[in-house]
Amino acid sequence: EVQLVESGGGLVQPGRSLRLSCAASGFTFDDYAMHWVRQAPGKGLEWVSGISWNSGSIGYADSVKGRFTISRDNAKNSLYLQMNSLRAEDTALYYCAKDTTEWLFNPTSDYWGQGTLVTVSS
């Protein structure tokens, strides 16, 4: 059974940093690209970042470019999102999602975690 478990969320002050993690199991992690997708309270889904199976291809939404860094450790079956210079508008539930292919050219997510909540407030 595919499982994606996010962690690392919490309350953080504007301008500070936070690192999210996603522990994957039930599939061959290094065969697939992975994504972070967020959802602000009461709002829609917003793609944040994606990374190919070998970290050779990485992409970011304009809203987080230069502040967030996605990475993965295939040996640990884990996905990460380093979030710096956090803003109030980054407040959201952050989902980890598995892609259906190893690359980012056809971003389709067939499994999602339950999300970890990030609240940016003073």
* Residues at the interface with other proteins (CB under 8 A): 35, 37, 44-47, 50, 59, 61-63, 95, 100, 104-110, 112-115
Least Å from the CB of residue 55 to other proteins: 15
2 Cβ neighbours under 8 A, 6+ residues apart: 24, 25, 26, 27, 98, 111
For 86, phi and psi rounded to 5 degrees? -65, 145
Length of the chain: 122
Least Å from the CB of residue 51 to other proteins: 11
CA-wise closest residue to 79 among 94, 64, 92, 101:
94
> CA 104, CA 80: separation in Å to the nearest integer?
17
- The residue (of 7 and 17) whose beta carbon lies closer to other proteins is 7
- The residue (of 80 and 95) whose beta carbon lies closer to other proteins is 95
- The residue (of 63 and 71) whose beta carbon lies closer to other proteins is 63
Least Å from the CB of residue 60 to other proteins: 8
